[in-house]
Structure 1
Amino acid sequence: MRSELADAVDARLAARLAELRAERGWSLDDLADRSGVSRSTLSRAERAEISPTASILNRLCGVYGRTMSQLLSEVEAEPAQVVRTADQTVWEDADSGFVRRSVSPPHSGLRGELVEGRLAPGADIAYDRPPVPGLEQHIWILEGALEVTAQDVRHRLATGDCLRLRVWGPTRFRCPGPEAARYALVVVLP
């Protein structure tokens, strides 16, 4: 007897397989021609009527240009919908006066995350490059003032202001004071 967990994974896998085919604009016949898997088997797999074998998944991964590990990681368990305060990781860099709370941490099934940042008056943090080129950021000032420099342009932000940008190179965050700056940072993978 199959477990509910196995059924849920098969349902997410079926949905992901259908998404991959739709993203390419292929019909079931197109995919059958490319993969060597029968149209009926593909149809049943995309509707979660069957669980595809390792051999079938391997063929589909080859067509979609991914490893089986990549495909399976794309269908891992859904992230928790509620992230309780106690589960939000807080990291502090006492030397720079920076406190970072991971309000909605990254998850392989999601492209965005939400961070709360706090900078002490006078704090100045420079990053030489983004972790991912083209990273989308939205910086909303909740309290205080913040100077953000990106692509050699300095933006002076006050409470309520929001800066939206894609990060390609060095950035700098500076709290001019006299009070601390608290901001929400939304990070979206390209």
Structure 2
Amino acid sequence: MREEGVPDTVDDRLAARLGTLRTEHGWSLDELSRRAGVSRSTLSRLERGELSPTTATLGRLCTVYGRTMSRLLMEVEAEPPRLVPAARQPVWRDEEAGFVRRSVSPPHPGLRAEVVESTLDAGAGIAYADAPVPGVEQHVWVLEGTLGITVDDALHTLREGDCLRFRLRGPSHFHCPGPERVRYALMIVLP
């Protein structure tokens, strides 16, 4: 049974958390807009739950707030259990970008690592303007398909079974050249 006034979907809880983060920082919508490069009206609609953020927008907000996307999404979930059955792993979709993200091992404030499973449709790409947490370590393991990753101005092409490890300090870009979608595991280790 849903308690009155308590958001009940991930999108509702995410909208509420984004509003709380802005308030905690003491920023107006105009100030956040300037820092994140996202329009004031879009930010307002996101915080009211009228709009679901795109991956790019959420990435910009995570950078401004100094959080990984997983950490932000974890903050809108209940305390994660030790065992997370596949059917209960939180899934977030950006249909417009052709991106699906499953938190296989939801992050926890006391832990530094997490595992995420992602898929990108053929031809889709996700660009992150900056590292959400400078120096975060990432391991990308391709499970199916082909994935192009640009990090530190170098393009890496990974095929099924390949793994790339790097520390992220700036922009990055993930792209699926096709012809099929790519499915990959991302291991994130906070510095």
Give the whole-Å Cα distance in 2 for the aligned partners of 1:80 and 1:88: 10
Q: C-alpha distance in 2, partners of 1:111/1:123?
A: 29
- Please say if residues 100 and 115 of structure 1, whose CA atoms lie closer than 8 Å, have aligned partners that are also in contact: yes
Unaligned runs of at least 5 residues, structure 1: 1-77
What secondary structure does 2:97 align onto? coil
2:145 equivalent in structure 1: 144
Q: How many residues align?
A: 113
2:176 corresponds in structure 1 to 175
4+ runs deviating over 4 angstroms:
none
Question: Residues 77-156 of structure 1 correspond to what in structure 2 (within 5 A)?
Answer: 80-156=81-157
Partner of 2:164: 163
The residue identity in structure 2 corresponding to 1:165 is F
Q: Supply the distance in 1 between the matched residues of 2:165 and 2:102 (Cα, whole angstroms).
A: 20
Correspondence 1:1-20 to 2 at 5 A: none
Is the Cα–Cα contact under 8 Å of residues 122 and 179 in structure 2 kept in the other structure? yes
Kindly report which structure 2 residues correspond to 1:9-88, keeping only aligned pairs within 5 A, or say none.
80-88=81-89
1:185 alignment counterpart: 186
Query: Aligned AA for 2:89?
Result: Q
Letter paired with 1:104: S
Name the amino acid aligned to 2:169: W
Helix, strand or coil: the match of 1:136?
Answer: strand
Q: 1:87 Cα deviation (Å)?
A: 2.1
What SS does structure 2 have at the residue aligned with 1:95? helix
Computing the radius of gyration over CA atoms, which structure comes out larger, 1 or 2?
A: 1
Q: Measure the CA separation in 1 of the matches of 2:80 and 2:93.
A: 25
The 1-side partners of 2:189 and 2:81 are apart by 18
Identity between Structure 1 and Structure 2 (%): 60
User: 1: distance between equivalents of 2:101 and 2:113?
Assistant: 16
Q: Which runs of 5+ in 2 are unaligned?
A: 1-78
Matched-pair contact (CA < 8 Å) for 1:148–1:171: yes
Aligned letter for 1:91?
W
Q: Which residue of 2 aligns with 1:3?
A: none
Q: Deviations over 1:20-44 (max 9, x none)?
A: xxxxxxxxxxxxxxxxxxxxxxxxx
1:60 counterpart residue number: none
